Structure 1
Amino acid sequence: MKKHVVISPTSCMGLVGIHEQAYKKALTFDPDAIAVDAGSLDPGPYYLGAGLPHVPRYKMKEDCRIMMEGLLTNKTTMIMGSAGGSGGHKHIKWHLDIMNEVAKEMGKTFKVAVVDTTLDKEYLKQRVRKERIEGCQHDSVLTEEAIDNATEIVAQVGTEALIKALDMNPDIVLAGRACDNACFAADAVRKGFNKGLALHLGKIVECGSACGIQLPNSKIMRTPMVATLYDDYFTVEPATSDWICTVRSVTGHELYERTDPHVQAEPGGILDMSKVEITQYNERSVKVSGSLWRDDPQSYKVKLEGAEKVGHRCLFITGARDPNFIRNIDWVINFTKQRIIDEFSPKGLVEGKDYYVIFRVYGRDAVMGDLETKKPQSPHELGVVMEVIGKTQELAHEISYFGKYGMVWCNYPGRTTVSGNVGYTFSPSILDAGEAYRLNVHHLLPIDKDQSLFNVKIVEVGK
């Protein structure tokens, strides 16, 4: 019976790190591919918009070293997706520079197939003029204005673009923005394995040890996962003996980031998990079968992501314990907002256009906002965050400063003191947080299945 072994070393490169000894143990399973996700949109639009990584350089370098050293002892292919965190041009360069540095320190060279997933803005505007590019789980269609305002627009590619890179026989595939599970599935699909099973395998092991359970006496806080794909099922097990996989742990992670327990949309079709069976294979591993792939006969779509700069951010983080202040927190917020408007409107500055003021009340509804169903009647203290976004850092700071003193000195109903309504968290109490971005492109673009939009080039690192 043919099989295909895939190792998932960690949840995300540069984030929590790879346990080196556990990784060496994983390599004894003789993997056909080593796959890892290197990014996400989870940290928000800032990193895509600013072209910066969301993990520290030293941690990314450490993970690259461990993984690249593994290629010296195992004849296998490494596949990294969402390079540098967001998969844009600057992110790929940052990631590639680190790999080059590691390779030189090792005294080795590696052949890297780099998949460029950034799309040309003029091409996208031409498409928008001809057709509706619909939103991904929202109603707004893509516009030329949104395209122009985005600093960069990346497409989240599936297995097909990665297979295009694998066909060049590299040591390493470094892809721009990519679907997490596609990194784990691509080599198996290329070799003729069931696409539904391969993608489902990737969905389960994409976050490394998150689908496993650490045993009580284990000293290994994280372990690689080993997935073995056969013709009609696959198994998942931890690389080290002090971890296990159970039906519950695997099922729990299978539902992670899912809006529907039965299907998941992918580039070019649907991963159908409605008939999946998950059973305990042995005391350490789980068996999964029944995953199906359903091609979309109408079109092949990829998700687009882009972020636009909306200004500069300032934060004032404070706390309150006075019961009367807490009871009148909405009065305080409305007073502060109006005070800001009264001060800055005569200067020609319009709230909602030239600047934004957002309050978050922790201990009440800061996390869920209007969706919060449980509002405490009388918390003993509240944390209040005032966020200001202005066209410049100076403007944001000025508005934050003015708003802060609105909160500190306002004469709210029932006030029994003459000053000091809140307790400062830091000194200085106004924190300049730099550029602010919002996700303004989150749409589905129909493309040709030949993946001609995505350029793949070979780069040698370590030369």
Structure 2
Amino acid sequence: MPPSTEAAARVGILTPSGMLGAGFAPETIDYGLALGPDVIAIDGGSTDSGPHYLGAGVAKTTASAVSRDLRLLLRAAATADIPLIVGSCGTSGTDSGVDWVAGIADQIMAEEGLDLKIARIYSEQDAGFLKKELDAGRVHPLAPHGPLAPETLDSCTHIVGMMGHEPFVEAIQAGAQVILAGRATDTALAAAVPLMLGMPAGPTWHAAKIVECGGQCTTDPRAGGVFATIDHNGFVIEPLDPANACTPISVAAHMLYETANPYRMREPAGTLDVSDATYAPLDERRVRVEGSRFEPAEQHTIKLEGARVTGYETLSFSGIRDPYIVANIDRWAALLRNIVTERINQTLKLTDDDYGLDIRLYGHNAILQDIDPDPSTAREVGVMLLVNAPSQATATAIAKVANPLMLHLPLPEMHYLPSFAFATSPAETERGPAYEFVLNHVVDVESATGMFRTHYSREVSRA
């Protein structure tokens, strides 16, 4: 049965891990069920791994890992008779990602003899619809982006809208027992049932933010998920592993994660403000939080995410241990770029505008590059050459021009030919199409659910 919409004294949220398919110990679910949850909420994706998954419409997780986790959670939801909510299915929340997870769920339920009503909430957006919204002045950029051009929408392979909690509430009230959703805010999954059951918005949204990544708010993030108990004055957070612990610092620190402002966080419906929140230990492993507020927005907005193809990539990687070149690695990398550029022009008749060439020096400054605070010389350096071109064949041809230089290029003053080590044979790895994020915009909406489509596995009540 769906949860009653009457105001509750407390609401429990069981979050088994930060992402479906990441894994968790089965006993942590048993521990969480014993605490009396009202919902199981788990994220199914993220933009953390870059634009490829949205652009290509594929998942970063393997089906076997998702199936393993989902089997345990479907059993738990059926046992406890509570909703299971999975957001951003298939990593990026595309329609194909929702259907992929739903197909896995259908197979599991058939094998386990479960009969749960499933709601699929789709979040992909049509470029034509969004261009009309743009023309009507309802699409606005988020910093640092500027105004959106209509052709940018047409260039995207996939566009998703990021839903808040409202579509989840609507599905649960319609009788759904399992919700598999497209792109959603990480917090909306956990906030939906508490808000539906009358919990105050401040503690609810703050608790949802803290549990979004499972055990990341604990002293041992590898130990599994967490459980939040929300009441009318605040919430309590504890790990699902009895040997793990939450502390005021570990809980408060999670507001620093993926937020531009550690005290304020925008949701489609408004802004969470934790500037007056207090964090107090109840014992050695539980923390109570009070003082969180939520400011409803004057205008409800839906954030857009979109990705498009930028070209095709080929990658080469070689390792350098020659001490003289390692000691002069920046000068060597500049020489490599200059000679490769000249040879590409000579042999392939291409100019700089025809392709992209990225040289990264791993072990030296590949991550932070010019802002690395410690550029001291390492014993060995890995050289990654990443080529982006309009076609795969061109990208690979450029990488092959660089091949002999990445194997033997000496500095001008050297009187011997150094040898480096390619990581693979062949040295060139074709990566296929490359994608980039091109949307960082919001749409003003009158309905919090209007941009999303919900399909049910079978007829459900409309209570």
- The TM-score normalised by the length of structure 2 is 0.92
SS, match of residue 158 in structure 1: coil
Matched, 1:77 2:78: no
Matched, 1:224 2:225: yes
The Cα shift of 1:394 comes to 1.9
SS, match of residue 400 in structure 1: helix
CA–CA distance in structure 1, aligned partners of residues 386 and 364 of structure 2: 17
CA–CA distance in structure 2, aligned partners of residues 54 and 411 of structure 1: 40
The Cα shift of 1:175 comes to 1.1
SS, match of residue 257 in structure 1: coil
CA–CA distance in structure 1, aligned partners of residues 182 and 104 of structure 2: 15
In the alignment, which residue of structure 2 is the partner of 1:455?
453
* 1:207-286 correspondence runs (5 A): 207-214=213-220, 222-286=223-287
The Cα shift of 1:419 comes to 4.6
In the alignment, which residue of structure 2 is the partner of 1:303?
303
Deviations 1:171-207 (A, max 9, x none): 1111100011110001111122111211110111111
The Cα shift of 1:212 comes to 1.9
In the alignment, which residue of structure 2 is the partner of 1:217?
none
Evaluate the alpha carbon distance shift between residue 397 and residue 164 of structure 1 in structure 2; reply closer, same or farther with a 3 A threshold: same
* Aligned residue among 130, 136, 150 for 2:136: 130
* Aligned residue among 6, 30, 34 for 2:13: 6
SS, match of residue 38 in structure 1: strand
CA–CA distance in structure 2, aligned partners of residues 373 and 22 of structure 1: 41
Task: Report the more deviating stretch, 198-207 or 128-137.
Answer: 128-137
Evaluate the alpha carbon distance shift between residue 132 and residue 321 of structure 1 in structure 2; reply closer, same or farther with a 3 A threshold: farther
In the alignment, which residue of structure 2 is the partner of 1:393?
392
Evaluate the alpha carbon distance shift between residue 89 and residue 348 of structure 1 in structure 2; reply closer, same or farther with a 3 A threshold: farther
Conserved 8 A contact 2:409-2:417: no
In the alignment, which residue of structure 2 is the partner of 1:195?
201
Partner AA of 2:201 in structure 1? K
Conserved 8 A contact 2:17-2:225: yes
CA–CA distance in structure 2, aligned partners of residues 162 and 351 of structure 1: 49
Conserved 8 A contact 2:89-2:183: yes
The Cα shift of 1:169 comes to 1.8
CA–CA distance in structure 2, aligned partners of residues 308 and 223 of structure 1: 35
In the alignment, which residue of structure 1 is the partner of 2:312?
312
In the alignment, which residue of structure 1 is the partner of 2:438?
440
Evaluate the alpha carbon distance shift between residue 367 and residue 135 of structure 1 in structure 2; reply closer, same or farther with a 3 A threshold: farther
Conserved 8 A contact 1:269-1:294: yes
The Cα shift of 1:327 comes to 4.3
Conserved 8 A contact 1:325-1:412: yes
Conserved 8 A contact 2:138-2:443: no
Matched, 1:154 2:153: no
Conserved 8 A contact 1:337-1:403: no
In the alignment, which residue of structure 2 is the partner of 1:112?
118
CA–CA distance in structure 2, aligned partners of residues 122 and 47 of structure 1: 22
* 1:37-76 correspondence runs (5 A): 37-76=43-82
Conserved 8 A contact 1:335-1:406: no
CA–CA distance in structure 2, aligned partners of residues 242 and 324 of structure 1: 50
Provide structure 1 residue ranges, at least 5 long, that are not aligned to the other structure.
215-219
SS, match of residue 228 in structure 2: strand
SS, match of residue 302 in structure 1: strand
In the alignment, which residue of structure 2 is the partner of 1:177?
183
CA–CA distance in structure 2, aligned partners of residues 338 and 239 of structure 1: 56
| Equivalences, count | 451
CA–CA distance in structure 2, aligned partners of residues 322 and 108 of structure 1: 62
* Aligned residue among 15, 18, 26 for 2:24: 18
CA–CA distance in structure 2, aligned partners of residues 132 and 26 of structure 1: 43
CA–CA distance in structure 2, aligned partners of residues 154 and 310 of structure 1: 19
SS, match of residue 180 in structure 1: coil
Partner AA of 1:138 in structure 2? P
The Cα shift of 1:382 comes to 1.7
CA–CA distance in structure 2, aligned partners of residues 171 and 302 of structure 1: 25
CA–CA distance in structure 1, aligned partners of residues 402 and 344 of structure 2: 11
Conserved 8 A contact 1:209-1:224: yes
The Cα shift of 1:307 comes to 0.8
The Cα shift of 1:132 comes to 7.0
Conserved 8 A contact 2:16-2:214: yes
Conserved 8 A contact 2:145-2:440: no
In the alignment, which residue of structure 2 is the partner of 1:381?
380
CA–CA distance in structure 1, aligned partners of residues 367 and 10 of structure 2: 45
Conserved 8 A contact 2:358-2:385: yes
The Cα shift of 1:423 comes to 2.0
In the alignment, which residue of structure 1 is the partner of 2:5?
none
Task: Report the more deviating stretch, 441-450 or 177-186.
Answer: 441-450
Conserved 8 A contact 2:269-2:300: yes
Conserved 8 A contact 2:40-2:77: no
CA–CA distance in structure 1, aligned partners of residues 216 and 170 of structure 2: 30
Partner AA of 1:103 in structure 2? M
Matched, 1:414 2:418: no
Evaluate the alpha carbon distance shift between residue 10 and residue 450 of structure 1 in structure 2; reply closer, same or farther with a 3 A threshold: closer
Partner AA of 1:387 in structure 2? L
Evaluate the alpha carbon distance shift between residue 344 and residue 372 of structure 1 in structure 2; reply closer, same or farther with a 3 A threshold: same
Partner AA of 2:18 in structure 1? S
Conserved 8 A contact 2:215-2:222: no
SS, match of residue 204 in structure 2: helix
Question: Identical aligned pairs, as a percentage?
Answer: 29
Task: Report the more deviating stretch, 127-136 or 179-188.
Answer: 127-136
CA–CA distance in structure 2, aligned partners of residues 279 and 230 of structure 1: 16
The Cα shift of 1:14 comes to 0.6
SS, match of residue 457 in structure 2: strand
Partner AA of 1:270 in structure 2? T
- The TM-score normalised by the length of structure 1 is 0.92
Provide structure 2 residue ranges, at least 5 long, that are not aligned to the other structure.
1-7
In the alignment, which residue of structure 1 is the partner of 2:423?
425
CA–CA distance in structure 1, aligned partners of residues 370 and 166 of structure 2: 41
CA–CA distance in structure 1, aligned partners of residues 394 and 417 of structure 2: 29
Task: Report the more deviating stretch, 229-238 or 311-320.
Answer: 311-320
SS, match of residue 66 in structure 2: helix
Evaluate the alpha carbon distance shift between residue 290 and residue 71 of structure 1 in structure 2; reply closer, same or farther with a 3 A threshold: same
Partner AA of 1:337 in structure 2? R
The Cα shift of 1:432 comes to 1.7
SS, match of residue 438 in structure 2: strand
The Cα shift of 1:23 comes to 0.7
In the alignment, which residue of structure 2 is the partner of 1:324?
324
